[in-house]
Amino acid sequence: MAKSTIFIYCLLFLLSQSILGQSPSTLYLVEETTMSKEETSTIASLQGLLAKDHPSIIVSMRGRSVESMLHDMISQEVISLDSSYLANPMGMVNEFHDQIEGYILYGDEPQSSYVATCFAGPFHSIIISESYEDVAIEAGLPLVKDCRTMSMVDAWADLRDSVSKEGIIIQPQKSSHFLIDLAVRDNLFYYEVDLEDPLLDILFTALNPGAVALGWSRYHESELIGMASSYDVGVIPADWALNLSVLDALDLSDLDTLDKSEGVDTKSLDATKDYVAFLMSDGDNLQFIINDLIYQGKYLDNGRSENYPLSWTIAPSTTSYIPFIGSKITNWHNSTGNMDCIAAPSGWAYVFPEALPSCEAYVEKTVEEMESMGLTILNVIGNDPDCPCLDSLLQHETIEGLVFYWYENYSKGEGKIEFRFGKPVVHGYSNLWGGFNTPSQLARRLNRLARSDEGSSFSLIPVHVWSYGKEDVEQCINKLNESTEVVTVSQLFNLIRQDALR
């Protein structure tokens, strides 16, 4: 391990010890970027195994927001860190040998580690590569399963009654050492999606309606989401997410939280104004939330408010999987006038609503998760704005409206606004997105909006976070006519309702 890395994490450890008057959850710290893929897989399986009873290990990733999150959790006395195994993470196999039933051995075949991971949770064991088998032997662990010649079909045949039917982990090879911890803790089948594989239909048919698939796949987004939706399964992008087996179990009882029902900072309608709201994309992505979104300056920057209104999509399941972050976002949403959050596509998980066999589980889970964060407006991505599932959502009293994006072009609806069940459904007007508009092009288009003698216009702008950031939104805003006022999405919906009542 590089000396600079050890120094940084020793500072983290000393900080955690010096500022705490009492002892919060103490976690052994390891660093993902200093371990091999095989080491990371073993430690992740141990992390998930221990988390079945008590979280004991947390993983950092140098240069990503998870470092800042650890600092934040230390300063708020949520955790303290023990760096004893920072330079020798595999030493924890011996440290915790008495809490491990044994080891699951895997080999070099691409699917071998997937098979081993499937067995680890039900067998209360860690997974280990044959190249590191001596570590398990030296710790006195017995071999409980040799998966080197087993297929995924073999694994399912053995485990169909032992794995959870509430979820599944789906991971491409490039990120196959991530989410192992959650798979082990929750006894989730661990699978690389293959749309041509007959096993896929068996696996997804076995899941309960409203189950969730965490991870991602090598297939095109529309293929993955369409496939999962057809089985009544939602997808939560999380392929590079760390620590999900630990983050939802930390004690947050002492954190200060605001009343979720404080309401929108409303504006009175001015018929001489045109109103525009900018909405940042990809908030449904848990790995983006953990690794980039919260602490990086070009994104949420730990809640620092801009001097212009800007809205963000946020996965409403954040409070379930990362309650520390969910609590922060809820506070920002309720206390910061220029920052606004709405529920990310397409609710509790990413689905195409029109492809769901039933809306019941989707609506129930979406409403529940949105209420947990105090969110009242939902962003949906789909291929049918007249889908009955949307009617079911809009009929629920806590949902105040929908932002609808067509999958192939978020602004295909060209800014259409309609009311259903007395609530606004707003389509994207024009994309701030590579290949669609630059900030200058978008500003010119907004300035050319034909004003009507009848009053205001209302435009919602989808902003693609992988193409453009906050500084690009500000550049666009600075080029708008004086008659155009920038508002948050929540304010835009309130103004639309006011206009409808004129």
Domains of the chain, residue spans: 1-94, 276-500
Residue 103 has what pLDDT? Answer: 98
Q: Would the pLDDT of 11 be above 60?
A: no
Residue 502 has what pLDDT? Answer: 73
Lowest mean pLDDT among 18-22, 38-42, 308-312: 18-22
| Burial (CB count within 10 angstroms: exposed 0-12, middle 13-18, buried 19+), residue 201 | exposed
Residue 51 has what pLDDT? Answer: 97
- pLDDT band for position 432 (50/70/90)? very high
Q: Identify which has the larger pLDDT, 45 or 257.
A: 45
Residue 12 has what pLDDT? Answer: 52
Q: Would the pLDDT of 258 be above 50?
A: no
Rounded distance, CA 446 to CA 399, Å? 29
Strand 458-463 vs strand 274-280: parallel, antiparallel, or unpaired? parallel
Contact 11, 60 (CB under 8 A): no
Work out the mean pLDDT of the chain and round it to a whole number. Answer: 91
Q: How far is CA 365 from the centre of its chain?
A: 16
CB atoms within 10 A of CB 272: 9
Which tokens in the block code for residue 152? 């995924």
Residue 451 has what pLDDT? Answer: 61
Indicate the pTM of the whole model. 0.91
Q: What are the φ and ψ backbone dihedral angles of 21, each rounded to 5 degrees?
A: -80, -25
Contact 30, 86 (CB under 8 A): yes
Residue 9 has what pLDDT? Answer: 52
Q: Would the pLDDT of 17 be above 50?
A: no
Q: 276-500 maps to which CATH number?
A: 3.20.20.490
pLDDT digits (tens, 9 = 90+) for 73-93: 999 999 999 999 999 999 999
Q: Would the pLDDT of 259 be above 90?
A: no
Q: Would the pLDDT of 253 be above 80?
A: no
Rounded distance, CA 210 to CA 197, Å? 22
- pLDDT band for position 455 (50/70/90)? confident
Residue 21 has what pLDDT? Answer: 42
Overall average pLDDT of the 435-439 stretch? 93
Residue 90 has what pLDDT? Answer: 97
- pLDDT band for position 453 (50/70/90)? low
Residue 256 has what pLDDT? Answer: 58
Residue 331 has what pLDDT? Answer: 87
Angle at 218 between CA 165 and CA 410, to 5 degrees: 95
- pLDDT band for position 252 (50/70/90)? confident
Overall average pLDDT of the 252-272 stretch? 68
Q: Would the pLDDT of 2 be above 80?
A: no
- pLDDT band for position 110 (50/70/90)? confident
Overall average pLDDT of the 276-296 stretch? 94
- pLDDT band for position 334 (50/70/90)? confident
Is residue 157 helix, strand or coil? helix
Nearest to 170 by CA among 209, 223, 109, 248: 223
Lowest mean pLDDT among 62-66, 94-98, 102-106: 62-66
Sign of CA pseudo-dihedral 456, 462, 467, 472:
positive
Which of 167-181, 261-275, 320-334 has the highest mean predicted lDDT (pLDDT)? Answer: 167-181
Residue 18 has what pLDDT? Answer: 43
